[in-house]
Structure 1
């Protein structure tokens, strides 16, 4: 029963409305990081929040739609990483369904899991499309240093990605969790989540 509800494709109106809201939150996070020139992306807060509220399917759709819209309007490179965003939504949604949003400590673990997922998926994409680099100043500095010492593009690309994605995704999950905790109970219950997830404390 739990498994079926977690992977349900029968969406409520609230869940469907959540998708554009999640994309908007992602945009704001990315804009914030860009304006402040942070060495992070902060572009998955909405995706994670959608996963927490409405499950892995809505989270995955929110992540993929975000990359499509961003690719069409801002940066075509975003299309390539749509699959990364999709899996971010899936992992966050599954872990939420299993009870991993009941404390700040557990939220950090979710962030690490989401970050490692992003690293594993994005590293081959970086190697295939951008010579192994991420385009992030700090990450690419690590890439250059590792390449100078080892000439291993896969190791350099993996470390480039991990130095950015792990802190970014931990911060993103904590931000989404803070928003989630701040929502009234009746708002969370609108999304018909499993009782294990709805018990916040």
Structure 2
């Protein structure tokens, strides 16, 4: 849900302002520039984007199930259900990457029910992450998923807007939040030195 919608006329100024607030951080500016240009550089359409997301899941060894998440869970402890928008599927892949191994066997990664989960009570019953952990992991998952969309030639800028990365874009704090998040993903080994996502999964004991 977009907290403060940004219309088409305002968007260029919002992007310029946000980018200017990243001055002095080449890594963050490079990652942001790739996101900013993603809608213009997008290739193909939803059918191709879904196929590319499935290929990404397979490359990471993630099992998938051709079924709607509302039939059970987005992640059932073994498989991602794939009848959702490609960006949502990629978001779940990013969740799998960043989730600690001990939570990977739990419904919806032990974070509680996701927005598309059907068996919400069952997912909430096995939630073990604290509210702070959930918020932090969702933030990093959001950004990693967006960068995967960009890497796969998809319009990651749309998810960047939908997931409120430009909320309060005039305030330096918005850019600082992005800088901290992209730096943490790099430090944890999920982004390469060029800000591109890496195919790996979090290991036991690894911090984010």
Q: Same fold (TM over 0.5)?
A: no
- Greater relative contact order (Cα < 8 A, sep 6+): 2
